[in-house]
Amino acid sequence: MNNGRAVLFPVYKGTFERRNDRLAEVLGSGQSSRQYSELLAQEIKDFRRCIDYLDTRPDIDRARLAFYGMSWGGALGPIITAVEPRLKASVLLSGGFDQVTFRPESDPVNYVTRVKVPTLMLNGKYDTLIVPETAQKPMFDLLGARDKKMVVDETDHIPTTVVYIRETLAWLDRYLGPVNR
């Protein structure tokens, strides 16, 4: 808050201290299961509850909220930004389509064209998890956002800190307005 921006880090069901053996089984059973779709719906609700919480804070400008997702968060970003209208911008760090089979209700490809917020994708040129040709570029090409930008860094999965901080802050300044210090 001291520098004019705040970060909220959701702890989604099935992650960190909310992880348990049953949820690990669901995640391990693959994204094509009904249980995975149900867990994903609960995780989206978790995110939306976080936005509800921010709505109660007088020190948060509710008109200037952005989504920032890294890796798994970057892959889920199109779903979250397509269904949450209170977001004004999005940054997908190491985002792209997972090369797995999903049920239709949990497949990011069925949401990505509905993303309307300005979206920045930051990816690594040599990423072996989210492969540029089959995962990164297809997501970027299908993004429904009128304003979108893709920055590819000469790295692997996560772009260098200098690149993603510089690009993210410039994107947020552009779409949320500069920080008043």
Domain boundaries, the chain: 16-176
> What pLDDT score was predicted for residue 178?
93
> What pLDDT score was predicted for residue 181?
63
Average pLDDT over residues 116-141: 97
Has residue 80 got a pLDDT over 80? yes
Residue 25 burial class via C-beta count within 10 angstroms: exposed 0-12, middle 13-18, buried 19 and up: exposed
> What pLDDT score was predicted for residue 104?
94
d(CA 111, CA 164): 25
What's this model's pTM, rounded to 2 decimal places?
0.91
Just give the CATH number of 16-176. 3.40.50.1820
Average pLDDT over residues 5-23: 83
> What pLDDT score was predicted for residue 97?
95
Across 18-27, 43-52, 62-71, 169-178, least confident range: 18-27
